[in-house]
Amino acid sequence: MKKQKMTLYGMIFSICFFLIVSFFFSTHTVDYANETETSGKVAIPVVKKAPSHVENVEPIEKETPELTDFYHKIEQTMTDTAKTFTGDVGITYVDLTTGKQISINGTKEFYSASTIKVPLAMMIADKVQSGSLKWDDQLTFNEKEDYEDGTGIIINNIQPSYSLRTLQEYSITYSDNIAKNMLYDTFGGDVAAKKALYAHFLQKETDWDDAKFTSEDAAKILKILFEEKSSNQEYQTIYNYMKNTVFHERLETPTTSGKVAHKIGSYAGFLHDIGILETEHPFILAVFTNGETDAGISFISTLTDQLWAVQNNAYPKK
């Protein structure tokens, strides 16, 4: 009897010991994701990912007093020159060395006109790289959908079809409207194309039949083009088309000739130009205007030369 009693005690002891060990060495974890603020448990902070595109561009490096003074000169030049224009104007400057952005009416919307051809060309390049299109694909001209008066060379001798590469080049180099419309067709038409490029580059929607840009929108797109062209040959090709455009005006002046990759846009009083200027410290300049006939052309050239002078003569030496 005594021996049996001890065995019973031993069994009870073993069970208790097992339960204690299981409690302290359990792999159970608390599902904090389902805890509420009133549960009494300690909340774990959630780290949110930063958005892929930041609206207010901050300098990459710490701004020195010399840079602060320089940027004040840039801003003052933009402000003073903007006051001379009769009408609406939006200007954005980006120093591509530091990422510093300065705007005058940078969020004011303007009809985009042909400046929209730059992000369109970039999205076509993306489709080729993804394999959904090929540069030697032949696109058929549809008079009802594709014909448009205005700039370009296709209108002078319309052919039944064109290669995708030819249309891409014509849309930028000659600002060809028919080429633009045929490129829109690869997205299923201009409505789908405009919606796609606004969502992709600007993360916003647009009223497709009245597509509008701000100077900050344009600068954002150009910054992507500039930063990615070194690793993306198709973006480099677009940049080369912009640099070899037949439109030698606005951002391209006798001073900047051969040193600017740009794309003009014109529609009634809307006269724009957006581009990248190749100084020792390259910079983006996007200028949108809506004013008297042809007034925007000389205004953009004047502003370009003034900013070019400041960028070359006042940029701080390291």
Mean pLDDT, rounded, for 213-221: 97
**DSSP string covering the chain, please?**
-HHHHHHHHHHHHHHHHHHHHHHHT------GGG--TTSSSPPPPPPPPPPSS-SSPPPSSPPPHHHHHHHHHHHHHHHHHHTT-SEEEEEEEEETTT--EEEESTT--EE-GGGGHHHHHHHHHHHHHHTS--TT-EEE--HHHH---SS-SGGGS--SEEEHHHHHHHHHHS--HHHHHHHHGGGTSHHHHHHHHIIIIISS---GGG-EE-HHHHHHHHHHHHHHTTT-HHHHHHHHHHHT-S---TT--TTTTTSEEEEEEEETTEEEEEEEE-SSS-EEEEEEEEESTTHHHHHHHHHHHHHHHHHHHSSPP-
Arithmetic mean of pLDDT over the chain: 85
In this prediction the pTM is: 0.81
Residues facing 102 on adjacent strands: 93
Cα gap 206→56, rounded to integer Å: 21
Q: Tell me how far apart the 2 most distant CA atoms of the chain are, in Å.
A: 116
Task: Please report the pLDDT score of residue 61 as a whole number.
Answer: 57
For residue 32, name the pLDDT band (cuts at 50, 70, 90).
Answer: very low
Residue 231 binned pLDDT confidence (cut-offs 50, 70, 90) = very high
Could you tell me which residue, 138 or 31, shows the higher pLDDT?
Answer: 138
How far is residue 18 from each of residues 4, 7, 26, 232, 309, measured CA to CA in Å? 21, 17, 12, 63, 83
Single-letter code of the amino acid located at 208: W
What is the C-alpha separation between 278 and 275, in angstroms, rounded? Answer: 10
| pLDDT tens digits along 169-187 | 999 999 999 999 999 999 9
Question: Domains plus CATH for the chain?
Answer: 65-313 (3.40.710.10)
Give the model's confidence band at 37: pLDDT under 50 very low, under 70 low, under 90 confident, else very high.
very low
Whole-number Cα distances in Å, 309 to 115, 130, 255, 259: 25, 41, 9, 14
Q: What is the dihedral of CA 90, 95, 101, 102, to 10 degrees?
A: -50
Query: Token digits for 96?
Result: 């591509």
Summarize pLDDT for 249-296 with one digit per residue, the tens.
999 999 999 999 999 999 999 999 999 999 999 999 999 999 999 999
Residues ≥6 apart with Cβ < 8 Å to 234: 125, 126, 128, 129
State the residue for tokens 């502003």.
Answer: 303
User: What pLDDT was estimated at residue 318?
Assistant: 79
User: Given pLDDT bands bounded at 50, 70 and 90, which one contains residue 208?
Assistant: low
The lowest-confidence range among 75-79, 114-118, 172-176, 203-207 is 203-207
What pLDDT is attached to residue 10?
52
> Do residues 167 and 183 touch, judged by C-beta distance below 8 A?
yes
CA 285 to chain centre: 14
Chain CA centroid to CA 300, Å: 22
Summarised one tens digit per residue, pLDDT across range 84-143 is 999 999 999 999 999 999 999 999 999 999 999 999 999 999 999 999 999 999 999 999
Q: What is the dihedral of CA 120, 125, 130, 134, to 10 degrees?
A: 110
pLDDT for residue 298:
97
Poorest-pLDDT segment among 14-23, 115-124, 204-213: 14-23
